[in-house]
Amino acid sequence: MKATPTNDPAPAAATALRTLEAVRPPQPPPSPLARMQKAVLMGTQLAARGIANEAATAAVLPWRMDTDTWRELAAMQQAVWGRLQQQNQAWVRGCTALVQEQQQLKQANTLSKFVEQEYNLLAQTGALVASQCAAFVGLMENVQVDYAYWVSQKTQR
């Protein structure tokens, strides 16, 4: 059947698909096992990138150790050091804020108020630790990817 503006099956198919999606039950969140498997996969990928970078370094550096290479390596190291200093400053600011918050807590009159105050501080501490861990892992991933790109550029010269 030849498609014409009046008998084109595409709009009908799109409408049927939207209807199907509307009545399909929502997907449950991933199970703890699935999340653990995903974490293991990402950790394995991180380790594989590290090993690949090491192998590429062993292949490149002995043959390309000129002043430009040393300068580029120093620049990368300086950039990483700068990011680590920023993370450290964020950590110190976060810890300082937590100490100030703890010092400003009023004496709780009831156990429920005391528990509320303590768990609020605990939640803030957890958020600080989580953000620091995520920032550090993000930096590690960026360094690996950037270094792999740099090494690949060196091998192509």
CB within 8 A of 132, min separation 6: which ones?
Answer: 87, 90, 91, 94
Q: What is the rounded distance in angstroms from the CA atom of residue 53 to the CA atom of residue 154?
A: 12
Confidence of residue 1 (pLDDT cuts 50, 70, 90): very low
Report percent pLDDT > 90 for the chain. 38
Question: pLDDT value at position 13?
Answer: 58
Question: pLDDT value at position 99?
Answer: 92
* 16 or 85: which leads in pLDDT: 85
Tell me if 41 sits within 8 A of 136, measured CB to CB: no
Assigned token pair, 34: 């699935």
pLDDT at 95 over 50: yes
Tell me if 86 sits within 8 A of 63, measured CB to CB: no
pTM of the model: 0.68
